[in-house]
Amino acid sequence: MVKKKATNLYEMTASELSGLLKKRKVSSVEITKALLDRIAEVDGKVRAYVTVTADLALEMAQEADRRLAAGDGNPLTGVPIAVKDNMCVKGHRTTCGSRILAHFVPPYDARVVTLLHEHSMPILGLANMDEFAMGSSTETSCHGPTCNPWALDRTPGGSSGGPVAAVAAREAPLALGSDTGGSIRLPASFCGVTGIKPTYGAVSRYGLVAYASSLDQIGPIAADAKDLAMVLNVICGHDPMDSTSVPREHPDFTKSVSKGVKGMTLGVPTEFFRSLDNAEVEKAMSEARAVLEAEGVKFVELSLPHLDYGIAAYYIIAPSEASSNLARYDGVKYGHRAASFDGMIDMYCRTRAEGFGPEVKRRIMLGTYALSSGYYDAYYLKAAKVRTLITEDFKRAFEKCDAVFCPVAPSPPFKIGEKIDDPIQMYLMDVFTIPVNMAGLPGISVPAGFSADGLPIGMQLIAPHFEEARLIQLAAAFQKTTDHHTKRPAL
């Protein structure tokens, strides 16, 4: 583990780069080239990217430099970013980590990609992920796993393992991930970076390849809370193309960075800590708690009784939606089609048998079963009720506290291959993150320490709907007096 003042452009945070760009000390093209060089240097080891879009990045960097010269840039204009391989980038293949979309080139941009264009933030490439975001280790990707930059034999977590590893390995100062059950927060915790899942409806899902529509949400990944705030300012907002996006004014999130947290109250869910059986995670949590207490934060114990059912309910709702969302990949219109078949039904069967990996197939089958006539009430409807109960649990909790405090993951990063054959063990990695998606709340993952082996451990803060600013405020205050987020893996 190395700690030093950033001297290379690729090591700088987005806010540092933004400052240099503003003062015209450096050009966006220079920054972009530095990052493309960094990718060329280390991505062979990390394998964070599926597609590096060097031409697009440089073209956007030139545009950024023109705008900055003309004085019409935004704070992040010229700062490069990586996007997860499930956000459509017009003219560039967007594979969603799946063979079935291995050659799919969307003729449209996702809304967030349009926003990156509007802000002239060079897109470095599309980063690796679990197939259709189904997984917690980035191992289900058809492109092979991404490696944790802190220990290459370990997973970066998932499903946004690629974008998160890219930020951790300084192959991108910023990245956009998506989070359906913890897919931003878990890898952020595993890779020692900061990541936030905004409130459901805060960021447009248009052009985000759907996994579970009622849970999916795009969010940023960065070195620290300040950078996250800057990206939230770019991506939060109503989109008429997404009926579930909420029309509301979002605050300037960067204003929350230096607010301080004296007098705030954090809730500690007893259920979460009771089920925790990892001493290193526990240690990191109590140290983090001490830091926050020193900043004037009060802690209260509280109960979220239905959270125990979170995983069970999630594995009904998410696969149900997925079974329907993924029905369109049938070989008729785009994507993979089996080379030989005998009739229409056989074409469907072979195409999907070849195109989807085992985890995706497992979830399609689970969901198809759960929605079947005769089972719907017992599964889908029951799970939907559990979801309401979880939401109500949080609502009650927020009467007593400003945010909920807990770990992101029950353990530090595990080894590649360790859990891939045991889906239940894999699913349990998301035990603390899933309830947040079920309730549609914003949740942030903040580096909170390291294991004895030097592996990152993250803490999670959960706020009421549309209180992302509060999470930024808490995380920034924590990062002011800690340095976990400034540490970098040696590559």
**86 within 8 A of 92, measured Cβ to Cβ:** no
CB of 372 to other proteins, least distance (A): 6
Q: Which of 62, 244, 275, 391 binds other proteins (CB under 8 A)?
A: 244
Q: Is 486 in the site for other proteins (CB under 8 A)?
A: no
CB of 301 to other proteins, least distance (A): 34
Query: CA angle, 75 as apex, 233 and 169 as ends, to 5°?
Result: 85
Answer yes or no: 159 catalytic.
yes
- The token pair at 278 is 């990892």
Answer yes or no: 226 catalytic.
no
Q: Which of 1, 4, 8, 108 binds other proteins (CB under 8 A)?
A: 108
Total of chain residues touching other proteins, rule CB under 8 A: 43
Answer yes or no: 183 catalytic.
yes
CA separation for the pair 166, 43 (Å, rounded): 8
By CB under 8 A, which span of 104-112, 167-175, 296-304, 459-467 interacts with other proteins?
Answer: 104-112
Q: Which of 265, 275, 368, 486 binds other proteins (CB under 8 A)?
A: 368
CA separation for the pair 120, 55 (Å, rounded): 14
Q: Is 130 in the site for other proteins (CB under 8 A)?
A: no
**360 within 8 A of 211, measured Cβ to Cβ:** no
Residue type, 252: D
Q: Is 89 in the site for other proteins (CB under 8 A)?
A: no
Q: Which of 42, 46, 121, 208 binds other proteins (CB under 8 A)?
A: 208
Q: Is 210 in the site for other proteins (CB under 8 A)?
A: yes
The angle, 0 to 180 degrees and rounded to 10, between the axes of the packed helices 468-481 and 225-235 is 160
**Strand boundaries in 194-308, DSSP class E:** 194-197, 217-222, 265-269, 298-302
Q: Which residues pair with 127 in a beta bridge?
A: 49, 84
Q: Is 150 in the site for other proteins (CB under 8 A)?
A: no
Q: Is 365 in the site for other proteins (CB under 8 A)?
A: no
Three-state DSSP class for residue 366: helix
Q: Which is nearer to other proteins, 150 or 206 (CB)?
A: 206
Residue that is written with structure tokens 């509280």 in the block: 302
- The residues, ordered by sequence, that sit 6+ positions from 300 with a Cβ below 8 Å of its Cβ are 265, 266, 267, 268, 400, 401
Q: Which of 303, 372, 388, 481 binds other proteins (CB under 8 A)?
A: 372
Q: Which of 33, 205, 350, 484 binds other proteins (CB under 8 A)?
A: 205
- The token pair at 369 is 């079963």
Residues in touch with other proteins (CB under 8 A): 86-88, 94, 96, 101, 104, 106-108, 110, 205-210, 212-214, 240-244, 320-321, 323-324, 327-328, 330, 332-334, 344, 348, 368, 371-373, 376, 380
Active-site positions read 84, 159, 183
